[in-house]
Structure 1
Amino acid sequence: MICCLNPHCTQPNHATQAAVCPTCGTPLERRLRGRYRPLKLIGRGGFGRTYFALDTDRLNSRCVIKQFAPQTQGTKSFLKAVQLFEQEAVRLHELGEHPQIPTLLAYFEQNKYLYLVQQMIQGRTLYQEIAAQAAYSEGSLRQLLEDLLPVLHFIHQHGVIHRDITPSNIIRRKADQKPVLIDFGVAKQFSEAIRYEPGTRIGTEGYAPIEQLRSGQAYPSSDLYSLGASCLHLLTGRKPEDLYSPQEGRWLWQEYLQKQGRTIHPGLAAVLNCMTKDLVSERYQSAQDVLDDLQRLPKLEGAVPGWVSSQASPSLFTGLDRPPLSGPGQRAGVAVPITSLPTAAEMAGPLSGPVSGPASGQPASGPQPPPPNVRGTGYPHAHPPGSRSPQPSGPPKPSGSPQPSGSSKLDHGSATVLGGGWQLIQTLVGHQSWVTAVAFAPQQPLLVSGSLDDSLRIWNWQSGDLLHSLRGHARGVNDVAIDQRGQLMVSCGDDATVKIWDVGSGTLRHTLKGHLRDVTAIALGSTNCLASASEDGTLKLWNPSQGSLTKTLPGSAGMLKTVALVSGDQRLVSGGLDNTVRLWDAQTAQATRVFAGHTNTVNQVAVSPDGRLMASASKDRTVRLWDLSTGDLRHTLQGHTQEVNTVAFFPNGQRLVSGSSDGTLRLWQSQTGTLEATLPAHINPVHQVAIQCSGGVIASASADKTIKLWQWQG
């Protein structure tokens, strides 16, 4: 397979070994500069084309070739273009030292065309994210700013102004979920030597500030304006031109958020407003100024790695290409979005292996520490229902528990007994991002896990065998549960859906839609009842066997993080960003009690098997035990050094276990609030815990991409 490099060829992609292009008759270049094999046209713009290629001198590693074919007139103009191209190549070479800017691999002129060879970035643009998913949360937006502003500070320090920052020019790198700034638009530096095609502008309408659109002038604050306008698009889901009133001369994005029933912190709103001022003199003058103001704000909920679906649209690359913008914001000279990459068979030669480094798209090895402000470091979990016969006072060792097998799926822990008789027996590995949810089946040795890699995995936890790897959620999985018979599994995720699966076959039975934003938690009852909680502030009750909605509860004033059903399924409890827990009557859809006391977000709630006690885990680093019948606070459990993300009762109700961002599990006496044991479980945050129906095994899910199994050896 080879590609025609004639910039005017209408059908350049061919599965041919001929000497000339079958479409236009141009001689085919087998290798540019004797090493780069152009395989496929993947994008085109006003100044040239972008090709997917292999670097034969680097073990056929994948790269991107940008071809510039300016419509110049006269030798002098062309030589000037070459001079500016070389200057820009040197500039990109310097900028390529930054890990969030594509690396320049080569630059040259051949056959009167100019070429840049750059590192390939695998991932999706933020434009594709917002087109396919819900709008960004406040925390996700702030995390994006904190990730991108240092990049802008870096390029501005090098005397470079991007001049076209839009969601289409930011790729979330698949390997580590970091935003990468692409398309520094070498052609934008050719204004002295190239005639722009009719309608082509320096910058994208809606995102570019007025000084760029009127006179072509740009300053560091111009890039900050474009980044701010991009943030407004991501926050609201609407393009900037829909959020600005020319008649009033002001932005209307906050009014739009209010119509959605959403608000953001006034300090963050002030930062965005200052970034998007019309007058250059009224804006921030440097990226560092913006960062300084952001760091003065209270800690906010942030974004999470793995937000992007690992099986959504084909990987994108740095280049001239970008998704077409519909409507008045569409830019001239941009053609079609990137098409799919050629298969190995189409390449007429196998690859020697994946590209090394962060652009390879391979999962980063080792545990991934969370960013400073992460959204939902504790994803809620409904304690998996199951037959819970009374247990002795201490968690017994299950009879006939097998020894860990030698399966490659297991990374056996130390045999050292930790935390008062609890021993690490296995570590299940395989997820490519944070493991956010875990649940045991009540009657079989099955464990289900969910991750921000958008997948669910069903394991035989005794042998460590992976039975099913399920993909159905378009975005990260937040919670999982298995019914009492062990036949149905339910999951929810950031794609605003709840999905019901057959445990035995792994087939998808129902997809439940109705929530407007991320579904953060689910709870399965004993009477064909399913409850879900969402960032849209509502609770919904479903019939899981029919896949139908039965009732919507108004929730609370803020986003909900957790839900649990009380015995009998006639009541349920919820918690979230308003720092309270609410008890609901499922029939009347009314809140009958509010439990106030936490000083920060409630990440998860759990109800004791007898329905008498409720435990709430909070970002304020405590677990609180409440009497459900009276509303009295029984105990405040303190000891975790970071926020508590998850809590679960043992089947006998006499103990509970909590997991925290400090990486530990803590076991407590529910009657006295006494700390019994501390397990140094993970080096990264613990997102969720589950307890096997015998009470003798605990599973912990973590941001280190693993599930660890702990067994009582006392």
Structure 2
Amino acid sequence: MICCLNPNCNQPLNPPGRKVCQICGSKLEPLLRNRYRVVKPIGQGGFGRTYLAADQDMLNASCVIKQFSVQSQGAQSQEKAIELFNKEAYRLHELGVHPQIPTLLAYFEQDKRLYLVQQFIEGQNLYQELVQQGAFNEGKVREVLRDILPVLKFVHERQVIHRDITPTNIIRRKSDGKLVLIDFGIAKQITESTASQPGTKIGTEGYAPLEQLRNGQVFPASDIYSLGATCIYLMTQVKPDSLYNPLNGQWIWRDYLRKKGIDVSDNLTQILDKMLKDWVNERYQSADLVLQDLNVVGWQPATPKNPPPPKTSPVTPQATVSRSPEPNPNPNASVSGRFNVAKTPIFQNRNMRRPITPPPASRPPNSSSAKRVWRCVNTLTGHTSWVMAVAISLNKQVIASGGLDDQIKVWSSQTGELLHNLPGHTKAVNSLSISPDGLILASGSDDEKIKLWNLHTATLMQTLTEHSRDVNAVAISPDGQMLVSGGDDRTIKLWRLKNGLPIRTLFAAAGMIKAIAIHPKGLFIATGGLDNQIKLWKLATGELVNTLNGHFNSVYAVAFSSDGQLLASASKDKTVKLWNVQTGELIRTFSGHSGYVNGVAISPDNQTVISASSDKTIKIWRLETGELLSTLNEHTSAINALAMSVDGQLIVSASSDKTIKIWQGFG
């Protein structure tokens, strides 16, 4: 079946092979972004629909796609909606590093609609569990609090308020029984910002506190209120606002349970009543404070964390006002929280051997990068969206940057002056590389093209179109003769730089290519991608000579040492690994980042490893011991790319805060 993506189509499923919808006449898209096959709608709202889909690039893994149709009239309103969409998508990208928040896989615009793609969480939401198994006892409610409060702490520390905590927005994950918090309300924010109708509000009546329903104001204590209301519903099966006496301003949920012969401890009663205070300043002000009181008694949940599998299909809630928490019980009808699917690795680490001592490195006399103090000496601004790629010329004079605004900018590293804008790509710029003579800039983009630019004249020299999907990585060989590229089409392509002619294509059937590095002596190509592996290929022949296993998630960056004996890899698993190029053995793992590691470099003297992460930091590590030497934390959003000058004196970082920072080492 092919699903129609018109949010107003009342029968969206069509037989295979159709080009237009048999009901509404809309054009049918077999694949969104040439990757996601929409299976069926699973939710509906004023913003559009939520769909179950299959990701063909990840072995048809299930995912959730949430569609936003901007309803506002006028270019300014539409621009504002898209701006808010991008801002919220970034927040979800950051939040998705938490294991109990779904991973945001992608976000994009297609056919004037905005889409979020998110990890599918298999399991039942708490409303479905309630319908199937009956009211929660005190033990299960304490379990809910102990599982969800740390998630709220994580969210609130990042200046995000969930705004819609209800039983249907908490899923018990089937694989491990852990509770997962979904739906961070992007659609509500976009709709609220662009709608002209009065009375727009955020949250679900019965679960949202007064300050949220009256004027949309929210605080961490607002989420705490909603969690308390959720707990009351799980114990009573009655909508929370039916258990509040407005005459005396008191909750009567405990009286309701007592009439049914159910008692709740004074400790839990006091906790829930304080979570549900009308006045914001009378509630708990943080999740930590609730946990402190919850742990006073040391009460252990009386029920197993992983309930028995259902014997029948999930029950749809009845349309009764007092007992239904909200109209849609579907566990994945909302999207929240980063790029790329968080799945069990397809390739396990079968070839791991004991770490060995790194080979001796040639070090310049009287120079040690390990002793340097790094300071940000310039911040370059001009991009209008996330900066995803950065490169620095061999002579340190020029920096190039590219981003989600489809732009390439060329800067003076000395003054920070913008030298050139290089328009031409029609989608995001993912990777950049400058030839050793500083004349040619290569760029790879989501528009499936590689462009070669003359940096001296700021003109386009050539466009290479052999890739059939996004181009994620480009690298120019140290002798300036060859270009290597890799992308979502799972191929690595080798080109002659001077004329753009293809030399050969290498196939990496197991996963899309995200990273490429070329050996300093031109011996090997190192590639990394979504198969969690690093592959080493002979540059001269294209022969695969080694596969390095050790990461437990996608590899986002690779870098050779200046002597070619070491290789560093950066991964979505939040680690950097150091490898012996000759033997393929793992030397050591650098752990300390709290987010994906997106960029990596090895200093020319082989003294330090530099890594950049979605946790907004750059970390400097001592190569020989793995000791963390320093953390650079002036970026305000994820760092997506990193480059180091050939003399090791400059680090350049590109960030989702729309800036490029230049760091200089002193000492």
Q: TM-score normalized by structure 1?
A: 0.47
Which residue of structure 1 lines up, in the alignment, with residue 323 of structure 2? none
> Which of 599, 610, 625 is matched with 1:657 structurally?
610
Structure 1 residues 460-500: Cα deviation after superposition (integer angstroms, max 9, x where no partner): 12111100011111100001110100000011011111111
Matches within 5 A, 1:92-131: none
Give the Cα separation in 1 of the matches to 2:525 and 2:123: 35
Which residue of structure 2 lines up, in the alignment, with residue 599 of structure 1? 552
> Which of 427, 440, 450 is matched with 2:392 structurally?
440
Give the Cα separation in 2 of the matches to 1:697 and 1:476: 26
> Which of 572, 575, 579 is matched with 1:622 structurally?
575
Which residue of structure 2 lines up, in the alignment, with residue 562 of structure 1? 515
- Give the C-alpha shift of residue 449 in structure 1: 0.6
Which residue of structure 2 lines up, in the alignment, with residue 712 of structure 1? 665
Percent of aligned pairs sharing the same letter: 34
Work out whether 1:374 is the aligned partner of 2:279: no
Instruction: Give the secondary structure class of the aligned counterpart of 2:521.
Output: coil
Work out whether 1:666 is the aligned partner of 2:619: yes
Structure 1 residues 243-287: Cα deviation after superposition (integer angstroms, max 9, x where no partner): xxxxxxxxxxxxxxxxxxxxx98879999xxxxxxxxxxxxxxxx
Instruction: Give the secondary structure class of the aligned counterpart of 2:486.
Output: strand
Work out whether 1:453 is the aligned partner of 2:405: yes
How big is the alpha-carbon RMSD for the aligned residues of Structure 1 and Structure 2?
A: 4.7
Which residue of structure 2 lines up, in the alignment, with residue 76 of structure 1? none
Which residue of structure 2 lines up, in the alignment, with residue 431 of structure 1? 383
Which residue of structure 2 lines up, in the alignment, with residue 518 of structure 1? 470
- Give the C-alpha shift of residue 533 in structure 1: 1.0
> Which of 545, 565, 570 is matched with 1:612 structurally?
565
Work out whether 1:541 is the aligned partner of 2:494: yes
Work out whether 1:572 is the aligned partner of 2:525: yes
Give the Cα separation in 2 of the matches to 1:458 and 1:628: 33
Structure 1 residues 53-109: Cα deviation after superposition (integer angstroms, max 9, x where no partner): xxxxxxxxxxxxxxxxxxxxxxxxxxxxxxxxxxxxxxxxxxxxxxxxxxxxxxxxx
Relative to 1, partners in 2 of residues 1:152 and 1:582: Cα closer, same or farther, differing over 3 Å? Answer: same
- Give the C-alpha shift of residue 588 in structure 1: 3.9
Work out whether 1:478 is the aligned partner of 2:417: no
Give the Cα separation in 1 of the matches to 2:500 and 2:28: 28
Aligned residues: 386
Give the Cα separation in 2 of the matches to 1:598 and 1:676: 23
Work out whether 1:499 is the aligned partner of 2:451: yes
Which residue of structure 1 lines up, in the alignment, with residue 420 of structure 2? 468
Give the Cα separation in 1 of the matches to 2:634 and 2:43: 29
Give the Cα separation in 2 of the matches to 1:169 and 1:536: 31
Relative to 1, partners in 2 of residues 1:710 and 1:167: Cα closer, same or farther, differing over 3 Å? Answer: closer
Does structure 1 retain, via aligned residues, the 8 Å contact 2:369–2:603?
Answer: no
- Give the C-alpha shift of residue 420 in structure 1: 6.1
Does structure 1 retain, via aligned residues, the 8 Å contact 2:534–2:547?
Answer: yes
Which residue of structure 2 lines up, in the alignment, with residue 135 of structure 1? 34
Relative to 1, partners in 2 of residues 1:153 and 1:480: Cα closer, same or farther, differing over 3 Å? Answer: closer
Relative to 1, partners in 2 of residues 1:552 and 1:503: Cα closer, same or farther, differing over 3 Å? Answer: same
- Give the C-alpha shift of residue 445 in structure 1: 1.4
Work out whether 1:551 is the aligned partner of 2:516: no
Instruction: Give the secondary structure class of the aligned counterpart of 1:431.
Output: coil
Give the Cα separation in 2 of the matches to 1:665 and 1:629: 28
Relative to 1, partners in 2 of residues 1:130 and 1:683: Cα closer, same or farther, differing over 3 Å? Answer: farther
Relative to 1, partners in 2 of residues 1:422 and 1:560: Cα closer, same or farther, differing over 3 Å? Answer: same
Matches within 5 A, 1:15-30: none
Paired AA for residue 578 in structure 2: L
Does structure 2 retain, via aligned residues, the 8 Å contact 1:455–1:469?
Answer: yes
Does structure 1 retain, via aligned residues, the 8 Å contact 2:398–2:411?
Answer: yes
Q: TM-score normalized by structure 2?
A: 0.51
Relative to 1, partners in 2 of residues 1:551 and 1:425: Cα closer, same or farther, differing over 3 Å? Answer: same
Which residue of structure 1 lines up, in the alignment, with residue 596 of structure 2? 643
Relative to 1, partners in 2 of residues 1:129 and 1:596: Cα closer, same or farther, differing over 3 Å? Answer: farther
> Which of 370, 373, 385 is matched with 1:421 structurally?
373
Does structure 2 retain, via aligned residues, the 8 Å contact 1:492–1:519?
Answer: yes
Paired AA for residue 373 in structure 1: R
Paired AA for residue 177 in structure 1: I
Give the Cα separation in 1 of the matches to 2:27 and 2:517: 34
Structure 1 residues 171-208: Cα deviation after superposition (integer angstroms, max 9, x where no partner): 9954463698xxxxxxxxxxxxxxxxxxxxxxxxxxxx
Relative to 1, partners in 2 of residues 1:474 and 1:616: Cα closer, same or farther, differing over 3 Å? Answer: same
Give the Cα separation in 1 of the matches to 2:48 and 2:173: 17
Does structure 2 retain, via aligned residues, the 8 Å contact 1:490–1:501?
Answer: yes
Work out whether 1:676 is the aligned partner of 2:629: yes
- Give the C-alpha shift of residue 575 in structure 1: 0.9
Instruction: Give the secondary structure class of the aligned counterpart of 1:177.
Output: helix
- Give the C-alpha shift of residue 550 in structure 1: 0.9
Instruction: Give the secondary structure class of the aligned counterpart of 2:385.
Output: coil
Give the Cα separation in 1 of the matches to 2:383 and 2:599: 20
Structure 1 residues 323-378: Cα deviation after superposition (integer angstroms, max 9, x where no partner): xxxxxxxxxxxxxxxxxxxxxxxxxxxxxxxxxxxxxxxxxxxxxxx97213599x
Does structure 1 retain, via aligned residues, the 8 Å contact 2:382–2:659?
Answer: yes
Give the Cα separation in 2 of the matches to 1:585 and 1:452: 33
Give the Cα separation in 1 of the matches to 2:445 and 2:170: 33
Matches within 5 A, 1:295-306: none
Paired AA for residue 339 in structure 2: V
- Give the C-alpha shift of residue 695 in structure 1: 1.3
Relative to 1, partners in 2 of residues 1:292 and 1:166: Cα closer, same or farther, differing over 3 Å? Answer: same
- Give the C-alpha shift of residue 600 in structure 1: 0.9
Instruction: Give the secondary structure class of the aligned counterpart of 1:471.
Output: coil
Give the Cα separation in 2 of the matches to 1:554 and 1:269: 36
Does structure 2 retain, via aligned residues, the 8 Å contact 1:621–1:638?
Answer: yes
Does structure 2 retain, via aligned residues, the 8 Å contact 1:529–1:569?
Answer: no
Give the Cα separation in 1 of the matches to 2:557 and 2:362: 24
Structure 2's unaligned 5+ residue stretches are 1-25, 51-65, 86-107, 112-117, 126-165, 181-185, 187-193, 196-334, 343-360
Relative to 1, partners in 2 of residues 1:396 and 1:270: Cα closer, same or farther, differing over 3 Å? Answer: closer
Matches within 5 A, 1:48-87: none
Does structure 2 retain, via aligned residues, the 8 Å contact 1:433–1:705?
Answer: yes
- Give the C-alpha shift of residue 432 in structure 1: 0.2
Deviates more, 1:532-541 or 1:673-682: 673-682
Does structure 2 retain, via aligned residues, the 8 Å contact 1:458–1:468?
Answer: yes
Does structure 2 retain, via aligned residues, the 8 Å contact 1:128–1:168?
Answer: no
Structure 1 residues 499-551: Cα deviation after superposition (integer angstroms, max 9, x where no partner): 11001111011111111111111111023111111011111111111011111
Relative to 1, partners in 2 of residues 1:540 and 1:392: Cα closer, same or farther, differing over 3 Å? Answer: same
Which residue of structure 1 lines up, in the alignment, with residue 318 of structure 2? none
- Give the C-alpha shift of residue 150 in structure 1: 8.2
Give the Cα separation in 1 of the matches to 2:539 and 2:44: 45
Work out whether 1:692 is the aligned partner of 2:645: yes
Give the Cα separation in 2 of the matches to 1:534 and 1:294: 36
Give the Cα separation in 2 of the matches to 1:423 and 1:169: 43
Does structure 1 retain, via aligned residues, the 8 Å contact 2:123–2:174?
Answer: no
Does structure 2 retain, via aligned residues, the 8 Å contact 1:498–1:513?
Answer: yes
Does structure 1 retain, via aligned residues, the 8 Å contact 2:124–2:172?
Answer: no
Which residue of structure 1 lines up, in the alignment, with residue 294 of structure 2? none
Give the Cα separation in 1 of the matches to 2:621 and 2:560: 15
